[in-house]
Amino acid sequence: MLKVLHFYKTYYPDTFGGIEQVIYQLSEAGIGHGIDSTTLSLSTRGNIQNESIGKHRANYAATTFEFASTPFSFNAIKRFKQLAEQADIIHYHFPYPFMDMLHFMCGINKPTVLSYHSDIVKQKTALKFYTPLMDKFLNSVNYIVAATPNYVESSYVLQKHIEKVKIIPYGLDRSSYPLINDEKLNYWKEKVGENFFLFIGAFRYYKGLHILLEAVKSTDLPLVIIGGGTTEAEVQLKEFATKNNLNNVIFLGALPDIDKVALLHLSYSVVFPSCLRSEAFGITLLEGAMFGKPLICCDIHTGTTYINIDKVTGLVVPPFDALALRDAMIHLKASPKIAAQYGKNALQRFESHFTSSLMSQSYFQLYHSLMNDKK
């Protein structure tokens, strides 16, 4: 068995973001390909060894403190070194500056793959101090993997290291999502109706939710929002909805996968208003495509417009433009035949580009290439 250690700042069940989803998909798929995956992340739950997540093992080091959205852990130093010694390949998930530090502190001399999930966008001041370490770290790994050519072309950092960059799109496994019965569908149909626009995601600064709420203001466009964020972010969004009498907007909070899938089935379109390139890909768009839904997103020169092709799988609008977003939603709602065709095209594009099987096979080929190079 080829042993792979995945390292990122957080993982299931503490957080459920897109990067965590990618790690999970690779770890689960690897079992059928002779790959034994282990994960290491930080956790406020403390030090935990070999917890079962699906069919693989997860390890957690207790978070000591957090700075600039980066958790640090004294316990992680020893645990990372132990797990790295047992692994054949270290698979890093970027960005996470503390990870770069540990790579050098622990003297890692194993084959390394780095999945480059996003540029650092928000912490501009911290980035100035971090850049020398980041460049040294990126120079030291064997391969850097980006999810889309769009992101590679628009990333200054990736362009600096282009000679070692590979492109492997993210992928999802439809069979890993729960099957929905009529009882669950009818429950949500009674609560929220059907043929609504659906947003799924955390209430983060770059998600563009304030633009989305502005877009549906003074319309009868039905919008259902799954997800949550900090108390402050939730309060601000809900206060805006109340102040503007947005009775067409329903906030459902974070939901289990079985409920999310039911709402995907009932929805008319998945709308994804992320407006900054912190949104490097958009797993929610991929889920919408997987369920054959027409998509709406913003053109931020990242993976969002690699998944959603304008006037093919859905509509693409400029970022921060509530009127353009509103017009796209109105046009899609008024054109059910066009919307249905976009949904079919989105599903076809998903099946040809974005399955978990395609992603996993590409990564596994890279792993084996690394091991062959080592010989």
CATH architecture of 2-172+355-374: 3-Layer(aba) Sandwich (3.40)
Tens digit of pLDDT for each residue in 309-327?
Answer: 999 999 999 999 999 999 9
Question: How many whole angstroms separate alpha carbon 34 and alpha carbon 245?
Answer: 56
Average pLDDT over residues 72-90: 97
Q: Which fold has domain 174-353?
A: Rossmann fold (3.40.50)
Q: What is the mean pLDDT of residues 133-150?
A: 96
Phi, psi of 279 (to 5 degrees): -85, 90
The residue with tokens 């003297």 is: 107
pLDDT digits (tens, 9 = 90+) for 4-18: 999 999 999 998 778
> Are 30 and 364 spatial neighbours (Cβ–Cβ below 8 Å)?
yes
The secondary element (H helix, E strand) that includes residue 336 is: helix 336-353
Give yes or no on whether 2-172+355-374 and 174-353 have one common fold. Answer: yes
Q: How many CB atoms lie within 10 A of CB 274?
A: 26
| Percent of the chain residues past pLDDT 90, beyond the cut | 84
Give the pLDDT score at 216: 98
Cβ neighbors of 368 (< 8 A, separation 6 or more) are: 2
Give yes or no for residue 231 having a pLDDT over 80.
no
Q: What pTM, to 2 d.p., does this model score?
A: 0.88
How far apart (Å, rounded) are the C-alpha atoms in residues 260 and 233? 21
Under 8 Å between Cβ of 62 and 41:
no
Per-residue model confidence (pLDDT) at position 208: 95
Residues 307/354, Cβ–Cβ less than 8 Å: yes
CA distances, 247 to each of 16, 213, 230, 244 (Å): 29, 11, 23, 9
Average pLDDT, the chain: 94
Q: For residue 375, what pLDDT is reported?
A: 59
Nearest partner of 126 among 68, 70, 69, 73, judged by Cα: 68
Distance separating alpha carbons of residues 260 and 180, to the nearest angstrom? 10
Rounded mean pLDDT, 147-165: 94
Average confidence (pLDDT) over 234-243: 93
Residue type, 39: T
What token pair was written down for 176?
């890993």
Render pLDDT for 21-75 as a digit per residue (tens, 0 to 9). 899 999 999 988 999 999 999 999 999 999 999 999 999 999 999 987 789 999 9
Q: How many CA atoms lie within 13 A of 293 on its CB side?
A: 27
Strand bridging mode 314-317 / 295-298: parallel
Domain ranges (residues) in the chain: 2-172+355-374, 174-353
Cβ-proximal residues to 176 (8 Å cutoff; 6+ apart), any chain: 25, 28, 356
